[in-house]
């Protein structure tokens, strides 16, 4: 009888202790894979590495562990959307134009020629709350999330990892007619813009671009910002930089498999979103945006000339861009809404009449 009573007491104590101290119970650890489309050679990616290896584990007490892979490590970059959707990888970091064939509004998300001007304005456009009697409340990310959801993925962040989109040429571009007949490596609406002036826009792998410029197979290139093009030494084979950047802002986004996202408890969702936002902003402000002026300075030292569009030439360049806006607006209802929201934002900021 005494043994039976002792057994009951021990069992009761065990139940009490397990309920009274829930923190002692093993909490589920989520282990995910993310593939970025960039190379580890890009210095600013150190902010993502630090975030995934140190910051996020600290924020989540080790409950969310994400291993980052580089472009092509697990899947081809064009396959990131499908791979995330199917759960081959839980997350993908890539330029949003990568998805425009399936999600038309992604082309507008990536950046409109002569569109929103600065990264802090884009961040406000995507996330900003309405400030009473001032401005705000566009929350463009909400519209985009609805479109990505249709593909079985959750749009975690966009508009925080961004950079200017510019052109470099082998020969001077003193007027827009000088673009005619030029074969130019470009992507997204940058390609469409170059074709407005008789250029031949082509997309070739990054690793082939330098040699193609060197041999004359290409006459020009768009490869993001000045610092990006300087880092891959395009200034050695293309001595003319077209100013201003045709796309003031291009951006990348981060997508998550919808089932994986829904499996996370709320606190981990908040931690993940905030950590990725911070990494993207760090990449933007410490490399891409500050680095734009630095990159231009280094290229000028290497003999690169700034070919600046001014006056009527600049107006013609902007007019061609606005025609592309209208073309994009016709691709889908979401594209039309996104273009109109962009116009509203730019009117509010005084960039459009």
Closest CA to 149 of 84, 101, 88: 84
Q: By the 8 A CB rule, do 27 and 63 touch? A: yes
pTM of the model: 0.88
**C-alpha to C-alpha distances, 264 to 51, 81, 84, 269, 335, nearest whole angstrom:** 18, 20, 16, 6, 30
- Check whether domain 28-348 has CATH 3.10.25.10, yes or no: no
- Under DSSP, is residue 168 helix (H, G, I), strand (E, B) or coil? strand
Confidence of residue 205 (pLDDT cuts 50, 70, 90): confident
Mean pLDDT of 334-350: 97
Q: Indicate the angle between helix axes 333-348 and 119-127, nearest 10 degrees.
A: 120
Domain boundaries, the chain: 28-348
pLDDT of residue 8: 43
pLDDT of residue 228: 87
**Structure confidence by residue, pLDDT tens digits, 147-192:** 999 999 999 999 999 999 999 999 999 999 999 999 999 988 999 9
Q: How far apart are CA 266 and CA 209, in angstroms?
A: 44
């Amino acid at each position: 009888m005494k043994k039976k009573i002792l057994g009951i007491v021990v069992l009761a104590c065990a139940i009490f202790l397990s309920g009274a101290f829930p923190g002692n119970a093993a909490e589920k650890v989520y282990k995910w894979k993310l593939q970025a489309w960039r190379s580890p050679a890009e210095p600013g990616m150190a902010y993502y590495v630090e975030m995934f290896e140190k910051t996020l584990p600290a924020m989540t007490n080790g409950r969310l562990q994400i291993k980052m892979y580089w472009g092509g490590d697990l899947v081809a970059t064009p396959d990131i959307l499908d791979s995330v959707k199917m759960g081959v990888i839980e997350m993908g970091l890539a330029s949003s134009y990568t998805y425009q064939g399936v999600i038309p509004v992604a082309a507008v998300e990536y950046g409109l020629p002569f569109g929103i001007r600065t990264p802090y304005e884009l961040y406000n456009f995507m996330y900003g709350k309405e400030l009473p009697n001032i401005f705000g409340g566009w929350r463009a990310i909400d519209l985009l999330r609805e479109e990505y959801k249709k593909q079985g993925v959750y749009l975690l962040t966009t508009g925080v990892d961004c950079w200017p989109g510019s052109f470099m040429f082998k020969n001077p571009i003193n007027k827009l007619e000088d673009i005619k007949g030029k074969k130019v490596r470009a992507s997204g609406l940058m390609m469409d813009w170059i074709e407005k002036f008789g250029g031949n826009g082509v997309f070739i792998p990054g690793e082939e671009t330098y040699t193609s410029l060197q041999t004359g197979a290409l006459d020009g290139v768009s490869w993001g910002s000045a610092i990006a093009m300087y880092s891959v030494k395009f200034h050695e084979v293309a001595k003319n930089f077209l100013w201003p950047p045709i796309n003031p802002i291009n951006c990348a986004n981060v997508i998550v498999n919808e089932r994986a996202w829904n499996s996370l408890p709320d606190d981990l969702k908040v931690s993940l979103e905030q950590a990725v936002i911070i990494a993207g902003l760090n990449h933007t402000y410490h490399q891409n945006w500050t680095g734009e002026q630095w990159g231009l300075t280094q290229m000028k030292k290497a003999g690169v000339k700034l070919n600046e569009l001014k006056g009527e030439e600049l107006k013609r360049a902007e007019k061609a861009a606005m025609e592309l806006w209208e073309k994009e607006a016709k691709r889908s209802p979401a594209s039309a809404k996104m273009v109109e929201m962009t116009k509203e934002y730019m009117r509010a900021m005084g960039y459009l009449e």
